[in-house]
Chain A
Amino acid sequence: MTRVVVTGLGAVSPFGAGVKAFWEGLASARCAIEPLTLIETEGFRARIAAAVPAAAVDRLAASRRRSRADRFGLAAAAEAVEDAGLSRAELAGTALVVGAVGGGMLEAEAWYWARARGHGGPDGGAGLATVLPCAHADVIGRRLGLGGPRETVVMACSSGAAALAMAADLIESGAAPRAVAGGVDTITRVCYMGFNALRLLDPEPCRPFDRDRRGMTIGEGAAFLVLESYADARARGARIYAELAGHAMTTDAYHVTAPDPEGSGMIAAIRGALDRARLTPAAVDYANAHGTGTPQNDRIEARALARVFGEGRLLVSSNKSQIGHTMAAAGGLEAAATVLTLTQGVVPATVNLTSVDPEVPFDCVPRVPRAAPVHAAISNSFGFGGQNVTLAFTR
């Protein structure tokens, strides 16, 4: 079977632009959650978020006329491609799989809000031209000269991880030798209002796995990985970060917004990824959890992890405690974090975690990152609609 390896990384995160800023933020246990100023927050319960800092957005190379999300996506994908050292000829045969949800919704909302308030053009013009999630792939593909299969996958909060799994499929099936894959999303009025309406947001910075957690915090960003067949990576002398050894996607088919309380879909995704990677549970050292900070998710995810790995031994942490839930970007950013955990031998902490929920029978790496050799790790991403994705990476 074709082995798939990671040869490039790119990120735009609430810590700023670039993989270096992302990893330094994670490894220094910073929390990027701050008062939200990007959109109106009056009248809502939670008024904080992990936004990409304005200074970092200003420095992004892509034109300011593009949507915020397109600019994030383009910057992260360009960094990944440069990191992988791909030539123009190699890029021409490279696939692109983008996990996205909001598309250019932030800009479309600005038009729609203005129109509803009596000032704004009737046609929507540019704001609507880039509203679809697939707009990111069109921009990234064109700018980077990617000519292989191109796909945009919308799987709610597991979109970014799904994009990586689907890109690995393309490489394994021989449809493309390599792929640029990941996720991108921005904070939008619709998602902010929606998570508020569902009372899923914590008014304070989120505290995944804490006994007193009250919900999630939204974030934004983008991350792309260059995935490549091992043979192609070796042939061109590429630096190999890690292997994407297994991946699996399942559906709860239980409820639109609530996970199956038994976690059976999550368990099937985790087991599926391990089987495909030919890893035993005992061989896995670390789980980069979905860990949103909602009471339900963290309890059920911990139960699913315990069912597969047993209680105790596995290190578990949630990047969302530092960068919030970056939605469609989360699977990409957390996959990048998992890869860096393998290469750096440092497990990012779950910050803001003071009293671990007794229903979470794991060492959740509270507050302080942990130096630990990690040979194999999984990254979980779950989304509305009961959409579960697990990626398994090995050194």
Chain B
Amino acid sequence: MASRVVVTGVGIVSGVCTGGAAAIGPVLESGRSAVGRVTAFPTDGLPSHLAAELPPGALAALVEPAEARRLSRVSQMTLAACRLAVDDANLGDLSDAHLIVGTEFGDLRSTEEFAAGYLRRGAGGLSPLAFPNTVMNTMAAASAIALGLHGSSVTVNARRVAGELAVGRGAALIAGGRATAVLAGGVDELSPLMFAVLARLAAISPRGGGEEGCRPFDRDASGPVRGEGATFLVLESLEAAAARGARALGEIRGAAWRSGARAAAIPPALEAAGLAPGDIGWIYGSAAGDPAQDAAALRSIRRVFGDAGPATTSLAPVAGEHAGLGAFGVAAATWTARAGRLPGIASLRRPRPAAREVAAGPGVHRVPVGPGLVHGVCRGGDDVALIVAPMGDAA
């Protein structure tokens, strides 16, 4: 009954890189970061000025001109990343495939434009074509149409962990025999309204008078820095992938998600994978520089692994916090599982005492080739754990 779940394709559209699985290793080895001063809209008068933006023109190379005219920007990102993943997996027919899109803010930009049309010009200012974009499933709908995908297309909304959750649900669909191929990932874009509101609410760096920047596990952490982009994975059952001779980048051995103040998803994910805590060699965590969130993530990890757990990193300083980052972490984990290389946290200077034993500092670290953990946490809310292993490890 239970099928093994393999990753056969990756599509990344982010500030730091765009491409398939082959793009991951070089960018993580390089230590590059897309965090910089926002250029797409003015941030004058706001306390925050940093974000990890997509480079100008990045999307133009990835979507057809007709799609660029018709689709909102965040839908273009989603479609572009899905296409890259499908190409990377060399997957032809998507008619039976399923799509799971994780997002935190959806198409907020279109929603604001739609409302603004009314406030400017009354009922006559409303764009009927823009209305569907106000519903968060618009990215999934646009992508399913463009890809000819007729399985379910699901949009999951969550704070901080939507990408991890989407991949986890996709893996569960395959493991439970409900699907043989799933495109799963996450997407968010920076919008001027969202950025301004988060900045004014001090939900992003700099918070508490600190210096602006993304510093997970650091004593000088001052809040997260937002990013944008989309990362999608092609997940397939091992049998389906083998039958079509697909290359497998890695395996999702277990996935679990739990909620609430005492949420603990790592133990059930390990159990599903048939592994013990000592089998886990490294962790991609969701720490993004929010001290309370990072502390909650550390507590969740330490409850399972003790004080001296596996080396733990975060991609938030690389590509900024957005729902695509959770799926980016899973994609990066397939590389780490194979290569035994873990990119450290380049911004880490003064680790918090609780993180000193585990937080991976600047540089690329040697870690065991073998299974690791991708872990997403939203304090008081969701805890998501995915066990990622190289192929062959589970045989």
Contacts and interface: CB of A to CB of B under 8 A. Distances in A.
Contacts of A148: 258-259
A289 B145 CA distance: 25
Q: Which of B165, B258, B262 has the most CB of A within 10 A?
A: B258
Interface in B118-175: 118-119, 122-123, 126-128, 131-132, 134-138, 140-142, 144-145, 147-159, 165, 169, 172-173, 175
A251 B151 contact: yes
Nearest to A155: B137
A92 B105 CA distance: 28
B197 interface: yes
B258 A385 contact: no
Interface stretch (B52-60, B109-117, B230-238, B328-336): B109-117
Contact of B144 (A150, A194, A385): A385
B199 to A, nearest CB: 9
A253 B156 contact: no
B37 interface: no
A157 to B, nearest CB: 9
Interface in A179-206: 189-191, 193-199
B134 A249 contact: no
Interface in B94-110: 99, 104-106
Contact of B153 (A116, A141, A268, A387): A387
B380 interface: yes
Nearest to A198: B128
A92 B111 CA distance: 36
B158 A152 contact: yes
A284 B172 CA distance: 30
A43 B118 CA distance: 11
Interface in A121-150: 122-125, 128-129, 132-134, 137-138, 141-142, 145-150
Contacts of A197: 123, 126-128, 131
B367 interface: no
B384 to A, nearest CB: 9
A242 to B, nearest CB: 22
B138 A172 contact: no
A166 interface: yes
B262 A147 contact: yes
A172 B134 contact: no
Contacts of B128: 194, 197-199
Contacts of A169: 172-173, 176, 178
B145 A253 contact: yes
A129 B201 CA distance: 9
A265 B134 contact: no
B337 to A, nearest CB: 24
B257 interface: yes
Contacts of B127: 197
A354 interface: no
Interface range, B side: 35 or more
A384 interface: yes
A151 B260 contact: no
B298 interface: no
Nearest to B116: A116
Contacts of B104: 132
A31 interface: no
A112 B176 contact: no
A386 B141 CA distance: 7
B137 A251 contact: no
B294 interface: no
Contact of A138 (B115, B138, B141, B381): B381
A101 B123 contact: no
A100 B157 CA distance: 9
A145 B380 CA distance: 11
Interface in A160-181: 162, 166, 169, 172-173, 175
Q: Which of A196, A198, A385, A386 has the most CB of B within 10 A?
A: A385
A132 B258 contact: no
Which of B104, B119, B126, B157 has its CB near the most chain A CB atoms (within 10 A)?
B157
B82 interface: no
Nearest to A115: B119
A199 to B, nearest CB: 8
B148 to A, nearest CB: 6
A44 B123 contact: yes
A133 B140 CA distance: 16
Contacts of A146: 259-260
Given A132-B104, A151-B165, A194-B134, A265 B123 contact: no
A343 to B, nearest CB: 29
A147 B176 CA distance: 22
A173 B151 CA distance: 19
Contacts of A199: 128
A268 to B, nearest CB: 7
Contacts of B6: none
Contacts of A113: 119
Interface in A288-302: none
Contacts of A117: 119
A194 B149 contact: no
Contacts of B148: 253
A221 interface: no
A123 B145 contact: no
A112 B115 contact: yes
Contact of A385 (B111, B132, B259, B268): B132
A128 B111 CA distance: 14
Interface stretch (A58-66, A254-262, A369-377): A254-262
A149 B149 CA distance: 27
A250 B150 contact: yes
Given A147-B258, A173-B172, A253-B148, A156 B137 contact: yes
28 contacts: A43-B122, A92-B260, A96-B259, A109-B115, A123-B197, A129-B201, A137-B259, A148-B258, A148-B259, A149-B259, A150-B258, A152-B157, A152-B158, A154-B136, A156-B135, A173-B176, A175-B268, A189-B115, A190-B114, A190-B134, A193-B114, A197-B123, A197-B128, A250-B151, A251-B144, A253-B147, A254-B145, A384-B132
Instruction: Give the 3 A-B CB pairs with smallest separation, nearest first.
Output: A385-B141, A194-B131, A150-B259
Given A96-B259, A149-B259, A193-B126, 14 more contacts: A112-B112, A123-B197, A129-B201, A134-B157, A147-B258, A154-B106, A191-B134, A194-B126, A194-B131, A197-B128, A249-B151, A251-B153, A252-B150, A385-B144
